[in-house]
Chain A
Amino acid sequence: MKNKQRMLAAALAMVMAAMPLAGCSKGGGGADTIKIGGLAPLTGNVSVYGIATNNGAQLAVEAANAKGGVLGKKIQYVYYDEKGDATEAVNAYNKLVQNDEVVGLVGDVTSVPCIAVAQESAKDGLPMITATGTASSITTAGENVFRACFTDPYQGQVMSEYSAKKLGAKTAAILYNMADDYSSGVAEAFEKESKAAGITVVEKQAYQNNDVDFKSQLQTIKGKNPDILFLPVYYQDVALISVQAKQLGIKATLMGVDGWDGVLEKIDKSNVSAVDGAYFCSQYSAESEDPAVQQFIKDYKAKYKAEPNMFAVLGYDAMNIMLESIKNAGSTDSEKVVDAMKGIKFKGLTGDITFDKDRNPVKSAAITTIHDGSYKFVEYFKK
């Protein structure tokens, strides 16, 4: 009896001694592949964004592998569906780090799970880049967290500068959705930047979710006769607001941000003159003449039988930023990759990117205008 107990105790002790060693292995996976982790909502109510971003990232991995991979090794992309839920995202993240031993993370997609994962990854120091999370608190979670898309306030600043510098505007009015953080955030940034840019904001009006009638607010705005009417709102509201603005005879130039994407699908051809001559900024433009963009669109359509959107493009760029950082670092060591990413000068589908001290990208926005019922890419503009 005593012997058996002794043996059991010894065996347990050995197992316990071995445990910390098991968790010790630094990422790297197999000797001949580099594992990059991915997190995205592939099911759930933001699955449209998740699927597109993930597709873009996968396309980037395939393209890189076709060119021989990075540091002589092939890339293996391991991704999990976090169903749009923060808890699932953290669980999946832990799986990626402990089971799959990834060296970097491209994800998450929407801000809330992103923030949760960022806080976890900050403890591990794992290089993490989100393609599409726009909340400012994501990158402040740690020195290892980067972002490929610009933040919402940045868009407000860009449009303000653009109005002043390129359109020569002197006065502006804002109509925003006060129930939406995105809209309020962009509106605030626009207002603040306008002071520096030399534009006077003559009127700031708001509306609520599900409002369809904006005549009261537009009437007040019309009375102040601004050069610019800034609408930091989503495309459906733009469709309604622009038609009513036209009905009231407002002559100001309409300006918007990336929520405008898709507005022409919600406006009938007979009403499309309501948005003629408007400008909005976006993370990229499908009409850009950059051959890399056109090639990406072709490849994406061929593989996924759908048009790529802003999320797909950002996923592609985010993955490439990760891969290039690993190449520049010359290793998959987390600290080295993070340092390489901090100093990177990357040329992607969404423009030339460098990172600022908060690891947010300093890059140009694609300014698009609408003319004769179709989108026309104008230029890349940096604040």
Chain B
Amino acid sequence: MDFLSQIVNGLGIGSIYALVALGYSMVYGIVQLINFAHGDIIMVGAYVTYLILVVGGAPLWAAVVASILFCALAGVLIERLAYRRLLSQNAPRISLLITAIGVSIFLENLFQLLFTSSAKSMPNLFPGPPVSLGGLQVGRVTAITLVTSITLMLLLQLLVSRSKIGKAMRATSEDTGAAKLMGISTEMVVAFTFAVGSGLAAVGAVLYCGAYPLINPYMGNLLGLKAFVAAVLGGIGSIPGAMFGGFLIGVAESLTKAAGGSQITDAVVFGILILVLLCRPSGLFGSNVREKV
């Protein structure tokens, strides 16, 4: 029973990693850019939620909606200001990477200026007793996190596979040039991808604050890094991969800590990444695309 609880807890934190990893995967799939600023979008989402909820006194659903909208907007803005020019001019990938890191540092310092580096406390977002699942007691926050994340991931999968914009996304990621020739506005698709990825990160931020009610300008760092590892583990560019990677990392962390290895938790997580990449360089669900010269 205890072991099962540890796994459920691991899935809980893993689902947050998964939500954030989706953003990384989608953006990489479309423009082959590892958006290092993505982790800081979570931080932005958390602070917006804080502002609306605590400073503004609005109800939770209003704060969540505002957070999603603001983050989506922020994601699109970042793409427009920082990346678009480099993308359209086919700049070397390294320039994009450096820009992404620059955006990340900019966001962190901006929020430190605005809110100071002291952690701010969030209120109890999901009050209520633990949920019982047939003898297994699951914390209410963990339950809500799991349900929300899985629902959103399924919705995203539906969006990508069934809708028109999803088709456009898949086309753009396969071959941008051909997609343009087919009449797809690739710029819109890219903007849309950033928006969706950032919106998901905003939900991830709210769920994160539900479990860990302290926010500071640097919270996106470690979370973003772990989510990035999850995305790579699952195969960057693959949506089911990102989900699976997130859960795997979460459970691995939880079980390592439960076994008394708090000191080596990060080592274990990154060790798994190294092992997987050694055996399958493109990640668990990634497709090994060979470049035909």
Query: Do residues A236 and B263 form an inter-chain contact, with CB atoms below 8 A?
Result: no
Residues of A within 8 A of B263 (CB): 178, 206, 208
* CB <8 Å contact, A220 and B262: no
Interface flags for B225-255 (1: CB within 8 Å of A; 0: not) read 0000000000000000000000000000111
Query: Which residue from A220, A223, A240, A249 sits with its C-beta under 8 Å from B214?
Result: A240
Enumerate chain B interface residues (CB-CB to A < 8 A): 2, 5-6, 9-10, 12-13, 54, 119, 121-124, 127, 129-130, 137, 139-142, 211-214, 222, 253-258, 260, 262-263, 265
CB neighbours of B222 from chain A (8 A): 210
- Please, how many angstroms separate the alpha-carbon atoms of A116 and B42 in the complex? 44
Pairwise interchain contact A268-B254, C-beta atoms closer than 8 A: no
Are A271 and B258 within 8 A (Cβ)? no
Given A208-B265, A217-B262, A268 and B130 contact (CB-CB distance below 8 Å): no
| Alpha-carbon separation in the docked complex, A149 to B140 (Å) | 42
How many whole Å from A125's CB to the nearest CB in chain B? 43
Task: Report the minimum CB–CB distance from B146 to chain A (whole Å).
Answer: 13
Judge if A26 is at the interface, Cβ distance under 8 Å: no
A125 to B263, alpha carbons, bound, how many Å?
A: 44
**Residues of chain B with a CB closer than 8 A to A266's CB:** 119, 121, 214
A247 CB–B CB distance under 8 Å: yes
B229 to chain A minimum Cβ distance, whole angstroms, is: 16
Q: Are A240 and B258 in contact (CB under 8 A)?
A: no
Interface-central residue, B139, B141, B262, by most chain A CB under 10 Å = B262
Give A110-128 as 1s and 0s: 1 = Cβ < 8 Å from B's Cβ atoms: 0000000000000000000
Q: Check A216/B9 contact, CB under 8 A, given A178-B262, A268-B213.
A: yes
Task: Decide: B13 and A213 in contact? CB cutoff 8 A.
Answer: yes
Interface of B is mostly: helix
- Bound complex: CA of A344 vs CA of B54, how far in Å? 51
Please state if A216 and B123 are interface contacts (CB–CB under 8 Å): no
In the complex, are the beta carbons of A213 and B212 less than 8 A apart? Answer: yes
Shortest CB-to-CB span from A74 to chain B, Å, is 41
**How many residues belonging to A are interface residues under a CB distance threshold of 8 Å?**
30
A239 touches B214 (CB 8 A): yes
The answer for the CA separation of A211 and B211 in the assembled complex, in Å, is 13
> Are B6 and A219 in contact, with the CB atoms below 8 A?
yes
Our pick among A236, A247, A265, A270 for the contact of B139 (Cβ within 8 Å) is A247
B6 touching A240, Cβ below 8 Å? no
- Write the nearest CB–CB distance from A280 to chain B, whole angstroms: 18
Evaluate contact between B123 and A240: CB separation under 8 angstroms. Answer: no
**Is B262 a contact of A215 with CB atoms below 8 Å?**
no
6 additional contacts, CB 8 Å, given A243-B124, A243-B212, A268-B121? A207-B257, A216-B258, A243-B213, A247-B140, A265-B121, A268-B54
- Pairwise interchain contact A215-B214, C-beta atoms closer than 8 A: no
Chain B residues in 8 Å Cβ range of A178: 262-263
Closest chain B residue to A207 by CB distance?
Answer: B262
Q: Are B262 and A205 touching (Cβ within 8 A)?
A: yes
Which residues does chain A contribute within 8 Å of B262, judged by CB atoms?
A: 178, 205-208, 211, 217
- Is there an interface contact between A219 and B2, defined as CB atoms closer than 8 Å? yes
- Check if A217 sits within 8 Å of B257, measured CB to CB: yes
Residues of A within 8 A of B10 (CB): 216
What A residues does B255 contact at CB under 8 A? 216
Cβ of B130 and Cβ of A219 under 8 Å apart? Answer: no
- Residues of B with C-beta under 8 A to A205: 260, 262
A305 contacts B by Cβ under 8 Å: no
B6/A271 in contact, CB under 8 A? no
